[in-house]
């Protein structure tokens, strides 16, 4: 995926660790969501407001490749990129970066656009525009 990436940082919470002594692998899915919603917010798309208008964007596919562990209290950076949205779906790619610029994980998600009854619908025009890879 090309285009600028959006950056957001998060500190690993104690509750996110498991008895292996590092962040549980399921937490990365929440971090990707954080990266994606943070990017949307920065581009002027409020997901809360979309939902109030009956537009939802559930994840339809998820892929994570884990490279290294993230530990409690470490600051982790989520780099999010978006691919040019199609009319009813959009793809995001993520890199989770740990201390010392170490790559902890790569991930990708596909999202669909649905209405309140779960039927696919077109992504609203202003959201499609905001999600262009080359957007600010």
Please list the active-site residues. Answer: 18
Confirm or reject binding of residue 41 to its own copies (CB under 8 A). Answer: yes
Taking the CA of residue 65 as centre, how many other CA atoms within 13 Å lie in the half-sphere pointing to its CB? 7
Q: Of these, 43, 72, 77, 128, which contacts its own copies (CB under 8 A)?
A: 72
Phi, psi of 64 (to 5 degrees): -130, 135
Q: Of these, 1, 64, 84, 135, which contacts its own copies (CB under 8 A)?
A: 64
Confirm or reject binding of residue 24 to its own copies (CB under 8 A). Answer: yes
DSSP annotation of 63 reads: E
Q: Is residue 44 a contact partner of residue 111, using CB atoms and an 8 Å limit?
A: no
Interacting residue ranges for its own copies, rule: CB under 8 A: 13-15, 17-22, 24-26, 29-30, 33-34, 37, 41, 46-48, 51, 56, 58-66, 69, 71-73, 118
């Amino acid at each position: 995926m090309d285009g600028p990436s959006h950056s957001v940082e998060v500190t690993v919470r104690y509750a996110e660790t498991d008895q292996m002594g590092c962040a549980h692998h399921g937490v990365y899915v929440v971090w990707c969501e954080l990266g994606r919603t943070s990017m949307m917010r920065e581009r002027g798309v409020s997901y809360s407001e979309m939902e109030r208008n009956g537009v939802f964007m559930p994840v339809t596919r998820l892929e994570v490749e884990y490279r290294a562990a993230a530990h409690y209290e470490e600051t982790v950076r989520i780099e999010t990129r978006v691919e040019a949205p199609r009319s009813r779906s959009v793809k995001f790619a993520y890199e989770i970066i740990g201390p010392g610029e170490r790559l902890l994980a790569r991930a990708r998600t596909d999202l669909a656009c649905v209405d309140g009854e779960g039927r696919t619908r077109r992504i609203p025009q202003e959201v499609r525009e905001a999600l262009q890879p080359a957007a600010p």
